[in-house]
C-alpha cells in the first residue's frame, strides 16, 4: 500500500509546482486559448485542462512504478516537447480553421483541446517531475507509483490558473461584446500564437 507520508510529500511537491512554474509554463498556451473562447466555457475549459494534468501525472507515476528510471530517460529524450508542440499546434489550427460553436453544439475536438494541452504540458521535464518519477520508481509498485502521481497532480492543480484562466475568458468576452469584429481577430490571433508556440516546442524536442 502507498505510504501516507509519501503521498503527502508528493502532494506538497505538486503544490510547489502548481503555485510557481506551472503558471508560468502553461499560461501562454491556455491563456491564448481562453482569450478566443466564449465566457460560458471558461470554467469547463479550466477544469478540463487541470484534469488532463492530473491524469498525466497519475499515469506517469504508474509507469515509473512499473519501469523505474526508464520513463525519466524517455522524457529527457525530448518527446515531451514534441507532444506539447503537436497539441499546441493542433489547438491553434482548430482556432484558425474551425468554426466556433456554443453549448451542446461545441465539437468534441473543441472540448478536448484543453484536456490534451493539460496532459501534454505535464510531460515537460522539470525538477519536481524528476523527483516524482524517482520517488515513484523507488516505491517498487505500480499502485504506489500511481498514488504518488495522483497526489502530485492534485497538488499541482492548486494553481493561480484557476483564477487567471477564467479571468482571461471573461476579458476576451468583454472585448467581443464591446466590438463584435474583434471576435474573429482574437480567434485568429490566439490560433497563430498557439501554432507558433507549438512549432517552437517541437523544435526543442527534435
Q: Nine-digit cell at 182?
A: 474583434
DSSP 156: H
Contact 145, 58 (CB under 8 A): no
First and final CA of the chain: distance in angstroms? Answer: 39
In 72-201 the beta strands, taken as DSSP E runs, fall at: none
Tens of pLDDT, residues 58-110? 999 998 888 765 666 666 667 778 888 888 888 888 888 866 555 444 556 66
Q: Nine-digit cell at 78?
A: 525530448
> DSSP for 130-170?
HHHHHHHHHH-SHHHHHHHHHHHHHHHTSSTHHHHHHHHHH
* Alpha carbons 195 and 31: distance in angstroms, whole number: 14
Question: Which of 83, 77, 92 is closest to 56 using CA atoms?
Answer: 83
Dihedral angle over CA of 35, 38, 40, 46, nearest 10 = -40
Q: For the chain, what percent of residues have pLDDT higher than 90?
A: 31
Predicted confidence at residue 119, as pLDDT, reads 93
Predicted confidence at residue 73, as pLDDT, reads 67
Q: Nine-digit cell at 51?
A: 484534469
* Alpha carbons 10 and 1: distance in angstroms, whole number: 15
Place of cell 498556451: 29
Q: Nine-digit cell at 86?
A: 503537436
Global pTM value: 0.84
* Alpha carbons 118 and 30: distance in angstroms, whole number: 9
Predicted confidence at residue 105, as pLDDT, reads 47
Q: For the chain, what percent of residues have pLDDT higher than 70?
A: 88
Contact 102, 18 (CB under 8 A): no
Q: Is 3 left (phi over 0), alpha (psi -120 to 50) or beta?
A: beta
Q: Nine-digit cell at 183?
A: 471576435
Return the number of other C-beta atoms located less than 10 Å from residue 123's C-beta. Answer: 20
Tens of pLDDT, residues 170-188? 998 888 888 777 777 888 8
Amino acid at each position: 500500500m502507498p505510504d501516507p507520508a509519501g503521498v503527502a510529500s508528493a502532494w506538497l511537491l505538486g503544490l510547489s509546482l502548481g503555485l510557481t512554474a506551472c503558471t508560468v509554463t502553461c499560461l501562454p498556451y491556455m491563456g491564448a486559448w481562453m482569450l478566443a473562447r466564449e465566457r460560458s466555457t471558461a470554467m469547463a475549459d479550466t477544469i478540463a485542462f487541470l484534469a488532463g494534468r492530473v491524469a498525466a501525472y497519475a499515469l506517469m507515476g504508474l509507469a515509473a512504478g512499473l519501469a523505474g528510471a526508464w520513463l525519466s530517460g524517455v522524457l529527457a529524450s525530448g518527446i515531451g516537447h514534441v507532444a506539447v508542440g503537436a497539441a499546441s499546434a493542433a489547438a491553434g489550427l482548430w482556432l484558425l480553421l474551425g468554426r466556433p460553436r456554443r453549448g451542446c453544439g461545441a465539437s468534441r475536438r473543441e472540448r478536448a483541446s484543453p484536456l490534451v494541452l493539460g496532459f501534454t504540458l505535464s510531460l515537460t521535464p522539470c525538477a519536481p517531475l524528476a523527483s516524482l518519477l524517482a520517488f515513484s520508481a523507488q516505491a517498487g509498485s505500480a499502485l504506489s507509483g500511481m498514488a504518488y502521481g495522483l497526489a502530485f497532480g492534485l497538488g499541482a492543480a492548486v494553481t493561480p490558473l484557476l483564477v487567471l484562466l477564467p479571468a482571461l475568458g471573461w476579458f476576451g468576452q468583454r472585448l467581443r461584446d464591446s466590438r463584435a469584429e474583434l471576435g474573429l481577430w482574437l480567434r485568429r490571433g490566439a490560433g497563430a500564437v498557439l501554432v507558433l508556440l507549438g512549432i517552437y516546442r517541437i523544435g526543442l524536442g527534435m
